[in-house]
Structure formats: C-alpha cells, structure tokens
Structure 1
Amino acid sequence: MHRPTTRDPATGQELTGQELLNAVPAQRRPSARIVTARVTAPVLPAPVAPAVVPGVAPAVTPTAAPAPPVGLPGWRRVLQVLPTPTGTPFTFCYVLVLIATSLFVQHGDPDTVSTLLRGSSTDVAHLMDRPLLVLGASALWVAGDPLGPYAIAFFFTLTALERRIGAWRTAGVFLAGHVGATLATEIPVGVSVVAGHLPATSLHRLDYGISFGLMASIGALAGLFGPLLRATLLGFVSLMLLQDLLAFADPLTNWGHPLALLAGIACWPAVRRWARWRNGFPLRDR
C-alpha cells in the first residue's frame, strides 16, 4: 500500500501523512450559540429604617386586623341580645335575683310570701316608715307572670341599654324611673288622705314590681335609636299604656307607667352622651 509522502519545502525532507495533517491549518468551527430566555425581575430598594429623632416617637404603621373566623359574627349578634356576667353585669345579676324571687313566690310558703310582698310594698304607710327599704325591696319582685311581657321586655331592654351606656348608668336610669314614678303616684295619695278626699285605707295597698324602672329604661333606650325605630317603639308602648289608662283597673300604677316613660325620655341628653363616650367618641360631639 502506497503511503503518501511529500517533502518539506524548507528542509527538503519527506513528510509523513500525520505530519502533513498537522501542517494543515485548523478549520474554524462554527460555535453553537445557546440562546436562553432570561426574565429580568425589577430590583426593589431595600427597606430603609425611619430616622429616629430625639424626643419624637416613631410613627407606627397600622397593620391589617386578622379576619374573624367564619360564623363568629353570627354568634356575636346572638350574644348581643343576651345578658352576660362580663358584658352586662347589672342585668345579668338582676335577672338571677328575679328568677330566685319568682321561684320563691311559686314554691315558697304562701303565708311567708304574702308577708314579704306586703312588707315590700311602696304604699304611703311604708314610704313614711322605711322609705329606702321598701323602695329597694319592691324592685326585687315581678308582679304577675314571671314569663309575661313585662319580664321578657325587662330582659331584652336592660341588656340593650347596658351594652350601650354601661352598668352603673343603666342602674341609675332604672332607679330614676322606679323611684320617681313611685313617689309621683304615692305622694298625691297621701296628700288626698290628709285633705279628706280619700279614706285612710288608701295608705295601705300592695304595690311592687319592676314595671316603673322598665318603662324608664325603654324611654331612655328609644333615644339611642334612629327616628323610625324610635317612633315605632314609643308609639307601640304609648298605645299599650293608653289602653291601661282607659281600662282604669289600677289608676296609680297606670299613671305611674307613662310618668316613668317620660322620666326615661328626659334622660336622652345624658344617655346619648354616655353612649358616645362608651363608643370612643369625644363628649363635645353633639
């Protein structure tokens, strides 16, 4: 087999095939260009800490409150109409007392029950003898059915009022109606007996219950509602009281209810101011 050879022109020596290949200039190979897609993200500036100025408190950036769990608002709405020991302590404790006295009236010894009720009556004789005792004791009993409309209205009205103005102020409104309406109806009886217009037996009567304080609380609560709801509530209650006056079954009590309602309405300026203060609004906003 013939082996290709040639000579080096410079030296005249014979070159082998491998030396000939080494002498050939290397061919330039096309370089493969790999094109890659590159996403350029915007460069965000690093957070800069606020400058601390001596004597000036740094600003606090408000953070979003966590979302409440699903279903919790519904439970909160239910709890708003029910008295609780922490949210409405006055109404809660008062309801427990009324439940206890009502059970005692139903299941206690009849003679003992009758004695206690008569001793708690806010008639003229007892008011002249021990006014503070009977004014307080008379509000510990429910006159009539313990599950009647007055008891149910008491439950929801005082709860709503206390959640808006607080426990002590609710107790003050209730006592203002209870004491004010009692004195406004019993003092004229005493004067009439002294003047000879009524017999002496009018000084002794059975008068107790929560209705006067309840009417004052309804009147005060109406002042915290909008015009439509306020007019509806007051219109319904006024119609009910008007029917009682026309029936004339118990004149003193029947006149005491509208007087207690007016006492609650007279508390509107104070009640609205208390409600604004309790909800974090300044007292000067009117």
Structure 2
Amino acid sequence: MYSKDNEFDQASGLRMMQQKNNVKVIAVTGGKGGVGKTNVTLNMGIAMAAQGKRVMVLDADLGLANVDVLLGLRVTKNLSHVLSGECTLDEVLVKGPNGILIAPATSGTQSMVELSPAEHAGLIRAFSSMKTPIDVLLVDTAAGISDMVLSFAKASQDILVVVCDEPTSITDAYALIKLLSNQHGVYKFKVVANMVRSLREGQELFAKLTRVTDRFLDATLELVSCIPYDNNVRLAVRKQRVVVEAYPKSPASLAFRSLASKASTWPIPEQAGGHLEFFIENLLEFGQRKNREQLSE
C-alpha cells in the first residue's frame, strides 16, 4: 500500500543525485493541453544551453511523449526501458540542439501513465544514480492534474505555469494551483503568458488568473514572461526544430532567450523546503548525513 512514508523515501532517493553542484529544477506545467508547454520547455532549455548551462529535459508526459518528436530526434530507448531494468537513465539520454540532453518517455503505453508506487520509486532511483552532470533539469509535465503531474510539480524548486488567453486555460491553471496550494503545501508559482498579441494582453491574462487566486487561495503568483504570438513558432515545429534555433531573431525567440536568462538567476535553495524537491542535497552533503546516521546506529 502506498503511504506518506513511501513518498518520503522517494524524496530521499531524489536527493541522492550525485551532482557535486546543486541542480536547478523547474517543472513546466499548465493544467490544460495545447497551451504550448512543451514549446516553452524546449525553447527555454535550448536557450539556457546556448548560455552555457548543462541542461536536461525530462519528458514527464510518460504515456504521450512528444519532446523527441518535436526535435526530430531518433530514440531507441526511453524511460520504460529504464523502469524495466534494461538500461540506466544515462543510457537513454539523447543529445539535442546546443548539447541539451533529453530523457525521452514513451508514447501510447498505458502502463507508463499508471505507474505503481514501486515503479515510481524505480524512476526516482534512476535519477539518484545518474552520472551525467547537469546544471538545470526542466520537467515537461503532462497535461491535466493527475497524481503524476502533481508529484513532479511539487518535487521541483520552481513551478512554471503556462497559460494562454482561453477560458479553459485559466480554469485549468487555477485548478492545478488550487490543488498544489491547498493539498500539497506549494504556495509560489511563476506564470508564463504564452501566445499573446501584446505585452498588455499578457498582463491582462495574468490579471484574470490572479483575480481568482488572490480571492480564494493562499498562493503567490509572479508573471515572469509574456511570449508573443509568432507564426515562426509554427514554422519551426513543422521543421522539427525550436524557434530559438530556426528563427533566432523572431519575437518569440527574443522572449524565450530573455526567459532563459531570467530563469538562470532563480536561486537554488540551500536546503530542502517543506515540500519534496529534486536534487537539493549534493553528494557530499548526502554522504555526510549517511555517515552521521551510521555512527548513531
């Protein structure tokens, strides 16, 4: 049976990640599908890689993967092979533009959508033993508000909520924020207004969301970027490329690079907070703690 103890054990496993430097972990989510979440993840990540960061993107839409497809990457192994024990996480990583690393999921596999607690723990352990050094992990979550989406979101240091100017986008983003704040103790969210016609439209979109959250929730929202509607994004997708690479001077590309620069300045907590966080304690800290535990036994 799954319990809070299982959840704690999984969190501990995440913190075992053997990086000697802390890893910045950002979950990109949005509640509703079709808001451009994966495009935001990839363009921000590839822009951060161009700025010298070692970036990894985890395709956390475990049953309907599309990150590798959007980049035109050839994938032979994915996270399902890691879970089955056929290979390690390092062995499934695929290199993309600017050296960005992709941890691909699988598509059309129901079992990946409905992971058991033991399988979820197995995925956590895969990260704890990863040897590839990274500075930034971007978690591209699935659409909706499933337990898996909530788990990945609350396990990240920053949650980036992508919204667009559609009533259902606002409603679903609010539902996601409500669940995380009311039931999981997450109170800070960063918002990206995507595909907006102007800066003012982006600000008004953000205002629509905060009018509801300010009234009913104990949550703090910050508008961190307004990504303009740009037909070059669609053209880039058709080429299986990202817009920052295919059309580097386009309005959306400039906005994505600005977001990447801003994200690089977001602080990494020195200690794990009240909710579960990926990769907060580096190998040295973990080793010291284990030594203390062994001495006290």
Same fold (TM over 0.5): no
- State the TM-score bracket (shorter-chain normalisation): under 0.3
Greater share of helix residues, 1 or 2?
1
TM-score (structure 2 length as normaliser):
0.24
TM-score (structure 1 length as normaliser):
0.24
Task: Compare CA radii of gyration and give the structure with the larger one.
Answer: 1
Greater share of strand residues, 1 or 2?
2
